[in-house]
């Protein structure tokens, strides 16, 4: 069992606002886990030493809301086939890791490409974050994710359901394939044509069935929810996380706090559409985004201020919003009123707790995997430090970038 000691750094462990100056930490090369840390003189002998030259060390980013492999721009030029989504997913995963993302929750990928990649990963390794895949999402017929796919549009991006029984079958099918997360398209959305964001799509009974069935199998459930009533359904049935939350009510904020329901705002997805989307998507979608973007930030700001549990998600894979730019969400969370520490906590222990992997990921405490970033500037002073292009990225103690 050999060890590596990393010396001469400023260490943000992730479980408090404290920054350990002149710090060191030790990684077991076999397990990739952190075994000791301290400040000042190193008290442990190790076979290898790495001098981090006084730079800042923090946990790798955990992105709790992604769509790796999603094909947007290419759609008009080439049919969205399984091979195209797979090719793009592998590229997204590798560049995401370069961007500092060391773990993701996957929340809806066509052809179950994320599930299939995870299933084959031990035999055929590839570079990228650790992942909890969902595969195909669950949407109503005519709902947010009802999108034809394949060479001849013979397939669909989602399980199209019309009853609680359909939901039960869809969750079981995803479970059988190896999915670990269930994605519900609870309400209408910005990018879907023909619906409004406050269209309540899955019924209360359908949502309830999804949570009951998924939780009985230790799967997490996340819900795309933008309109007020749809968010309310998601909260009362007990999903693990509400995504977006454009019009979350004060009552639901209180209920989320009481239950420990996470909010994963994905502000960057809305920001990119509102700022750069004109002429790049249908006018219908662009208008919807412009109409709701201010209310989106205002409601998220209220939730942050109230102390709702935050995870960091970006909706990566949507317009001008690749996985590798995950760190930009930190800046948006701060713009919506989060402190630097709150934003960093969302990207670390917040998302890790949502995934129920916080005993192994999300902070740089002893016993956790050494997934960490090395930065030139202090992220506790300015979170945009994490956006540094040439930051170092370590996964299980091994330098990847």
Q: 3 or 224, CB closer to Zn ion?
A: 224
Q: How far is the CB of 393 from Zn ion (least distance, A)?
A: 27
Q: 224 or 309, CB closer to Zn ion?
A: 224
Q: What is the DSSP letter of 74?
A: G
Q: How far is the CB of 143 from Zn ion (least distance, A)?
A: 12
The residue number whose beta carbon is nearest to Zn ion equals 224
Q: How far is the CB of 142 from Zn ion (least distance, A)?
A: 17
| CA separation for the pair 136, 169 (Å, rounded) | 13
Q: How far is the CB of 321 from Zn ion (least distance, A)?
A: 12
| CA separation for the pair 239, 258 (Å, rounded) | 13
Q: How far is the CB of 119 from Zn ion (least distance, A)?
A: 25
Q: 224 or 299, CB closer to Zn ion?
A: 224
CA contacts within 13 A on the Cβ side of 69? 28
- Residues 343-382: x where in contact with Zn ion by CB under 5 A, - otherwise, as a string: ----------------------------------------
Q: How many residues bind Zn ion (CB under 5 A)?
A: 1
Q: What is the DSSP letter of 369?
A: B
Q: How far is the CB of 224 from Zn ion (least distance, A)?
A: 3
Distances (CA, A) of 142 to 148, 159, 246, 359: 11, 11, 21, 40
| CA separation for the pair 177, 115 (Å, rounded) | 7
- The b/e string for 266-288 (b: 16+ C-beta within 10 A; e otherwise) is bbbbbbbbbeebeeebeeebbeb
Q: According to CB under 5 A, which residues from 96 to 125 bind Zn ion?
A: none
CA contacts within 13 A on the Cβ side of 241? 32
Q: 197 or 374, CB closer to Zn ion?
A: 197
Q: Verify binding: residue 288, Zn ion, rule CB under 5 A.
A: no
Q: How far is the CB of 272 from Zn ion (least distance, A)?
A: 13
| CA separation for the pair 56, 42 (Å, rounded) | 18
Q: How far is the CB of 65 from Zn ion (least distance, A)?
A: 8
Dihedral sign computed on CA atoms, order 241, 245, 247, 251: positive
Q: 213 or 226, CB closer to Zn ion?
A: 226
Q: How far is the CB of 191 from Zn ion (least distance, A)?
A: 8
- Residues 141-180: x where in contact with Zn ion by CB under 5 A, - otherwise, as a string: ----------------------------------------
Q: Is 268 helix (H, G, I), strand (E, B) or coil?
A: helix
Q: According to CB under 5 A, which residues from 181 to 240 bind Zn ion?
A: 224
Q: 9 or 274, CB closer to Zn ion?
A: 274
Write the DSSP assignment of 153-215 as a string of letters. Answer: S-EESSEEE-SHHHHHHHHHHHHHHT--EEEEE-B--SSSSS--TT-B-S-HHHHHHHHHHHH
Q: 130 or 270, CB closer to Zn ion?
A: 270
Q: 10 or 261, CB closer to Zn ion?
A: 261
Q: Is 105 helix (H, G, I), strand (E, B) or coil?
A: strand
Q: How far is the CB of 266 from Zn ion (least distance, A)?
A: 7
- Token pair listed for 91: 């590229």
Distances (CA, A) of 307 to 205, 221, 258, 303, 339: 29, 21, 11, 7, 11
Q: 7 or 320, CB closer to Zn ion?
A: 320
Q: 114 or 371, CB closer to Zn ion?
A: 114
CA contacts within 13 A on the Cβ side of 153? 4
Which residues lie near Zn ion (CB under 5 A)? Answer: 224
């Amino acid at each position: 069992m050999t060890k590596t000691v990393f010396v001469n750094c400023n260490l943000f462990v992730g479980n408090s606002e404290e920054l350990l100056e002149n710090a060191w930490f030790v990684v077991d090369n076999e397990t990739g886990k952190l075994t000791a840390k301290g400040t000042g003189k190193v008290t442990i002998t190790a076979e290898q030493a790495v001098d981090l030259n006084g730079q800042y060390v923090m946990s790798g980013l955990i992105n709790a809301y992604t769509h790796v492999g999603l094909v947007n721009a290419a759609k008009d030029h080439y049919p969205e086939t399984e091979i195209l989504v797979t090719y793009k997913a592998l590229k997204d995963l590798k560049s995401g890791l370069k961007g500092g993302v060391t773990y993701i929750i996957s929340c809806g990928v066509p052809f179950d490409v994320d599930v299939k990649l995870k299933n084959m990963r031990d035999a055929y390794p590839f570079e990228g974050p650790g992942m909890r895949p969902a595969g195909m999402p669950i949407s109503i017929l005519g709902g947010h994710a009802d999108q034809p796919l394949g060479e001849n549009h013979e397939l669909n991006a989602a399980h199209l359901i019309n009853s609680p029984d359909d939901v039960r079958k869809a969750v079981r099918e995803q479970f059988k394939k190896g999915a670990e997360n269930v994605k519900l398209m609870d309400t209408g959305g910005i990018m879907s044509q023909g619906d409004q964001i406050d269209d309540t799509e899955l019924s209360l009974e359908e949502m309830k069935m999804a949570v009951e069935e998924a939780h009985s199998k230790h799967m997490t459930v996340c819900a795309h929810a933008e309109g007020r009533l749809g968010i309310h359904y998601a909260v009362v049935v007990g999903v693990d996380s509400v995504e977006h939350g454009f019009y979350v009510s004060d009552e639901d904020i209180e209920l989320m706090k009481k239950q420990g329901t996470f909010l994963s705002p994905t502000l960057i997805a809305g920001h990119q559409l509102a700022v750069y989307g004109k002429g790049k998507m249908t006018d219908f979608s662009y208008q919807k985004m412009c109409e709701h973007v201010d209310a989106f930030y205002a409601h998220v700001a209220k939730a942050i201020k109230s102390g709702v549990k935050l995870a960091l998600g970006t909706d990566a894979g949507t317009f001008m919003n690749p996985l590798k730019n995950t760190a930009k969400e930190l800046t948006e969370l701060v713009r919506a009123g989060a402190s630097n520490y709150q934003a960093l906590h969302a990207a670390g222990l917040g998302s890790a707790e949502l995934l129920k992997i916080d005993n192994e990921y999300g902070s740089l405490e002893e016993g956790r995997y050494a997934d960490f970033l090395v930065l030139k500037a202090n992220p506790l002073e300015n979170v945009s430090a994490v956006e540094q292009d040439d930051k170092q990225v370590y996964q299980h103690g091994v330098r990847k970038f």
